[in-house]
Amino acid sequence: MIHSLTELCDLISLSPADLNADTAPDFPLKVPKHFAHRIEKNSPQDPLLRQVLPGLAEKSIIEGFTVDPVGDLKANPTPSLIHKYQGRALLMTSGRCDIHCRYCFRRHFPYQQAKKQHWQTALKQIAADPSIEEIILSGGDPLSLSENSLIELIAELEKISHLTTLRIHSRTPVVAPNRAEMPLLWRTLNASRLQSVVVVHCNHANELSDETARLFQTLKKANVTLLNQSVLLKGVNDDVTTLTQLSKKLFQQGVLPYYCHQLDKVAGAAHFEVKNDQAWAIFDQLRQQLPGYLVPRLVSEIAGEPYKTLIFPTKESH
C-alpha cells in the first residue's frame, strides 16, 4: 500500500512539482500497489493517477459542494444503517477502503459509526421492517473486513426471513483484486439462500487486468451477479471512446455496466465535475456505439429523492 506522495511519484517517474500535488491533504493519499502499477509512467494526466492524486484544487471552496452531498446523514436512523429507498437498506460495515478516490462522496463521512459494535442494533431495525427485502453492504469498503467477519454477518442476515437479496458494493476487486481473494466468503455466498450481487466500481478500462478477470470468473462460478458502477469524471472518462472501451472490457471480463453516476457534489471534488448537457451528449454518442445492454444508466443522486434520478437532455441540448 502506498501512503507517501514521494513513493507514488518515484513509481511513476514524476515529481510532486510536475503534478501540482497537495503535499499535506486533509483526505490522505492511499493507493494499492496493484492500482499504482497500472498508472502510466511519466504521464501527469494519466486517468488513473487523476483519481488518486491529492491536488491543490481540493482546497478550493466551491458553492454547492458540501460534506454530505447525497443526504446520508439525514437517512441514518441508527449508527451504521442508512435507509433511503423503498425495499432496501444499506449497512455501513467498515470505515476503511483499499483506495482513497479523490472524488469519494463519503470522504467526510463520520466513519466512527461504521463499527461492528453497531451492527446488532442495525440488524434489529432491519428485522423489524418487513418492507426491506434487500440489504446492501457498503462503507468504506465491506471487503476491507476479514473473511470471517463477513461470513458471520451473512449468517446473521440469513436469519432475517424477509431478506431475499444481498448486495455488496466494493472497489477492492478492481483496485486490489488479491485482497478480494476470499474463497470461503464466495463459497458462503454460493450456498446462501440470499441471492448475491456484487457491484464493483471501475471508471476506466486501464483499471482492469488479468487479475480482475480471474477474480470475476471466481465470483461468477459462485453464482454472483456482477455489475459495475462508474462515476463520470472530467479528465478521466468524459469521452465516448473511453466509456466504450470500459463497457466492452467489463463485458469481456463478465461484468455488466449498471450505473454511470454524475459526480456527487462533495467538498473537494468540484474539479471533476462534468455538466449535465455535456454528459448527455457523451451518452447520446455512446448509445450509437454500443448495444443497449452495454450502456450504463446515466444517473445522479439527489439528496432526499426516493430513487436515483435519470439524466435527460434539456431542450437546448437536444
Q: Give pLDDT tens digits for 163-177.
A: 999 999 999 999 999
- pLDDT tens column, 16-45: 888 888 888 888 999 999 999 999 999 999
- Provide the pLDDT for residue 214: 97
Query: In this predicted structure, what is the pLDDT of residue 21?
Result: 84
Write down the domain spans for the chain.
Answer: 5-59, 73-310
Domain covering 73-310 in this structure, CATH number? 3.20.20.70
List C-alpha distances in Å: 70 to 13, 25, 93, 151, 234: 37, 23, 18, 29, 20
pLDDT-flagged residues of the chain (< 70): 69-77, 107-114, 303-307, 312-318
pLDDT at 33: 96
Question: Residues 145, 113, 178, CA angle at the centre, nearest 5°?
Answer: 15
Closest Cα to residue 106, out of 241, 318, 266? 266
Q: What is the pLDDT of residue 156?
A: 96
* Contact between residue 77 and residue 125 where contact means Cβ atoms under 8 Å apart: yes
What's the pLDDT at 87? 92
